[in-house]
């Protein structure tokens, strides 16, 4: 089995090299880019399984790079940022990222996030069966096989993580999932107690589905418990 290929994009050479060492210790092949333009050039010539992308970079910042990459590629993208506010995370996820980690970070946590995102992709690919599997919630149609979501006949463009959360809840109508269970099932990893990644993803998912959080049509909040899709 070939090693997974990780592309690390950061304008700080020390950070690039440090991440490379930790990932190589986990038997990943690592490519390095110092800015977004260079990252896109590498993607043109190499198959990359996951991209680690710094937000604050010269020439082409991480947000713009992410938008351009999402026009052509669908590998998981993990953002690195010195900003940890929810709004910054929402902006990053809106650009098409699947995960977000704040600087300064623990390299072991970063490695764990990389493993979780790659494992999620592998398990999703194994779970796809032949045939057309669709879930309908009022005027929302979710096609599990094609990864397509239609709202009132118009396609809704979700990131892979947003789709996985929606598919999890929609496939288990009536069942309440707390944040930890969602993280365990979607990221295939242990939940970090201080991590609000799930909440941010659901907030963005609701925005894309035009699902009013005060009177939600699709994703219901069970206060103090978690989230569910009604039967």
**Mean pLDDT computed over every residue of the chain:** 85
Tokens at residue 211, please?
């699902």
SS3 38: helix
Identify whether the C-beta of residue 40 lies closer than 8 Å to the C-beta of residue 27. Answer: no
Identify whether the C-beta of residue 59 lies closer than 8 Å to the C-beta of residue 33. Answer: no
Q: What is the pLDDT of residue 8?
A: 97
pLDDT surpasses 50 at 129: no
Task: Give the sign of the dihedral formed by CA 38, CA 42, CA 43, CA 48.
Answer: negative
Q: What is the pLDDT of residue 130?
A: 40
Distance CA 224, CA 231 (A): 20
Q: What is the mean pLDDT of residues 29-33?
A: 96
Q: What is the pLDDT of residue 24?
A: 96
Q: Is the peptide bond before 104 cis (omega within 30 degrees of 0)?
A: yes
Q: What is the pLDDT of residue 99?
A: 87
Distance CA 23, CA 163 (A): 27
pLDDT digits (tens, 9 = 90+) for 170-220: 888 888 998 888 888 888 777 765 567 888 889 889 999 998 877 888 899
Residue scoring higher pLDDT (122 or 127): 122
Q: What is the pLDDT of residue 104?
A: 86
pLDDT surpasses 60 at 131: no
pLDDT surpasses 50 at 79: yes
- Domain spans of the chain? 5-126, 129-228
Identify whether the C-beta of residue 120 lies closer than 8 Å to the C-beta of residue 91. Answer: no
Identify whether the C-beta of residue 50 lies closer than 8 Å to the C-beta of residue 74. Answer: no
Pick the CATH number of 129-228 from 1.20.120.450, 3.40.50.300, 1.10.10.10, 1.20.210.10: 1.10.10.10
Q: What is the number of other CB atoms lying within 10 angstroms of the CB of residue 48?
A: 18
To which CATH superfamily is domain 5-126 assigned?
A: Response regulator (3.40.50.2300)
Q: What is the pLDDT of residue 62?
A: 87
């Amino acid at each position: 089995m070939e090693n997974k290929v990780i592309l690390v994009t950061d304008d700080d050479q020390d950070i690039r090299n440090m991440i490379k060492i930790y990932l190589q210790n986990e038997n990943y092949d690592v490519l390095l880019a110092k800015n977004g333009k260079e990252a896109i050039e590498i993607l043109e010539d190499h198959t990359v399984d996951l991209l680690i992308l710094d937000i604050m970079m010269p020439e082409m910042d991480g947000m713009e790079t992410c938008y351009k990459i999402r026009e052509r590629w669908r590998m998981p993208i993990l953002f690195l940022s010195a900003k940890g506010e929810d709004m910054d995370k929402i902006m990053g996820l809106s650009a098409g990222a699947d995960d977000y980690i704040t600087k300064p970070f623990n390299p072991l946590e970063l490695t764990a996030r990389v493993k979780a995102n790659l494992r999620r992709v592998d398990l999703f690919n194994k779970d796809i069966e032949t045939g057309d599997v669709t879930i309908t919630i009022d005027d929302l149609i979710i096609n599990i096989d094609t990864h397509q979501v239609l709202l009132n006949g118009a396609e809704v463009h979700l990131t892979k993580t947003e789709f996985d959360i929606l598919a999890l809840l929609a496939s288990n109508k009536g069942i309440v999932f707390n944040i930890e269970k969602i993280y365990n099932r979607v990221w295939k990893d242990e939940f970090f107690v201080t991590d609000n990644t799930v909440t941010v993803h659901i907030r963005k998912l609701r925005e894309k589905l035009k699902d009013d959080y005060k009177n939600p049509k699709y994703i219901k909040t069970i206060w103090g418990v978690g989230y569910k899709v009604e039967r």
